[in-house]
């Protein structure tokens, strides 16, 4: 099982970090977690296509995690010759969100169907809403969901992928909570959104400082990893975006609490589970 951080960014636009999205590849099966800015551009760099995705999972409906969901739907639709519904899994409310996304695409759907005689079918998305427990299963791969805590954003979920005797956790945006603890137990790879609190505390902009109350800071992510017996912690979606040369400081802050491997995500970082 291989994890590729497709986009390691956050809502803040930077030139080198696409929006949050992570690919988990098991053999020929591609599972996509979140659909941030430019997800398909990063995906094609590693041979991931919307056309072949086995399923897409969404942790929550914050815009940075969903901004290119519409692109995944459209691109899958127009690159398949036969109807091939997209399997999409997200928290409660994700069905309504998907319906709204399809409504937004209505002009484009009409234009393309009118223009292409060989495109008589509309894009289809089979949505499953999950709170806790088995979210998806196929060919020896299990994906389990658990509620996370990103209050006041509610509901949110994290995902645990189990395959080939290995475990990968895509936590998304969350502070430490019982659901996160249950997902992370014995994980080989744990991907966690993090903030660097000491940097954000110095910024005199309240809207920016607000991010501190609903994200794990580096120490909290490392403590979660330590307590769960994680092998590799991936610090992802770092806020603020690390300045060049400061990366070792992020790693060192985590290492103060966790003896395992710590990686600071960049776009297209690959980690073997």
Shortest distance, position 11 Cβ to Zn ion, whole Å: 7
* Residue 262 phi, psi dihedral angles, 5° rounding: -125, 130
Q: Which of 62, 76, 160, 196 binds Zn ion (CB under 5 A)?
A: 62
Using alpha carbons only, how large is the chain's radius of gyration in Å?
A: 18
C-alpha of 75 from chain center? 19
Q: One of 16, 30, 34, 64 is an active-site residue; which one?
A: 64
∠ CA 245-248-253, nearest 5°, is 135
Q: Which of 64, 129, 162, 253 binds Zn ion (CB under 5 A)?
A: 64
For the four alpha carbons of 66, 67, 72 and 78, in that order, the dihedral sign comes to positive
Helices first, then strands: H and E counts in the chain: 10, 14
Our CB check for Zn ion shows the closer of 62 and 197 to be 62
Give the separation between CA 135 and CA 150, rounded to whole angstroms.
Answer: 20
Q: Is 64 a catalytic residue?
A: yes
Shortest distance, position 272 Cβ to Zn ion, whole Å: 25
Our CB check for Zn ion shows the closer of 88 and 211 to be 211
What x/- string results for residues 20 through 59 when contact with Zn ion is judged by CB under 5 A? ----------------------------------------
What x/- string results for residues 135 through 174 when contact with Zn ion is judged by CB under 5 A? --------------------------------------x-
Give the number of other Cβ atoms within 10 Å of residue 105's Cβ: 18
Shortest distance, position 64 Cβ to Zn ion, whole Å: 4
C-alpha of 128 from chain center? 17
**Residue 174 is encoded by which pair of tokens?**
């969350």
188 binds Zn ion (CB under 5 A): no
Shortest distance, position 67 Cβ to Zn ion, whole Å: 11
Catalytic residues: 64
Interface with Zn ion by CB under 5 A: which residues?
A: 62, 64, 173
């Amino acid at each position: 099982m291989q994890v590729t951080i497709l986009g390691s960014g956050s809502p803040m636009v930077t030139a080198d970090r696409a929006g949050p999205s992570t690919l988990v590849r098991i053999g020929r099966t591609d599972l996509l977690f979140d659909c941030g800015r430019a997800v398909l551009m990063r995906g094609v760099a590693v041979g991931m296509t919307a056309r072949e995705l086995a399923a897409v999972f969404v942790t929550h409906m914050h815009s940075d995690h969903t901004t290119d969901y519409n692109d995944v739907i459209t691109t899958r639709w127009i690159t398949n010759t036969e109807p091939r519904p997209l399997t999409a899994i997200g928290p409660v409310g994700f069905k309504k969100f998907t319906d709204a996304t399809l409504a937004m695409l209505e002009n484009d759907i009409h234009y393309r169907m009118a223009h292409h005689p060989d495109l008589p079918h509309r894009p289809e998305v089979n949505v499953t809403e999950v709170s806790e427990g088995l979210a998806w299963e196929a060919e020896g791969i299990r994906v389990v969901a658990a509620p996370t805590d990103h209050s006041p954003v509610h509901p949110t979920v994290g995902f645990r992928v189990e395959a080939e005797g290995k475990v990968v956790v895509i936590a998304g945006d969350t502070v430490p909570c019982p659901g996160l603890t249950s997902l992370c137990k014995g994980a080989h790879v744990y991907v966690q959104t993090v903030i660097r609190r000491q940097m954000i505390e110095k910024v005199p902009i309240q809207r920016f400082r607000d991010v501190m109350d609903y994200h794990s800071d580096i120490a909290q992510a490392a403590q979660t990893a330590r307590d769960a017996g994680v092998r590799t912690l991936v610090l992802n979606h770092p806020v603020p975006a690390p300045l060049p040369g400061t990366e070792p400081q992020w790693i060192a802050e985590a290492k103060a609490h966790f003896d395992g491997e710590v990686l600071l995500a960049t776009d297209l970082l690959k980690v073997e589970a």
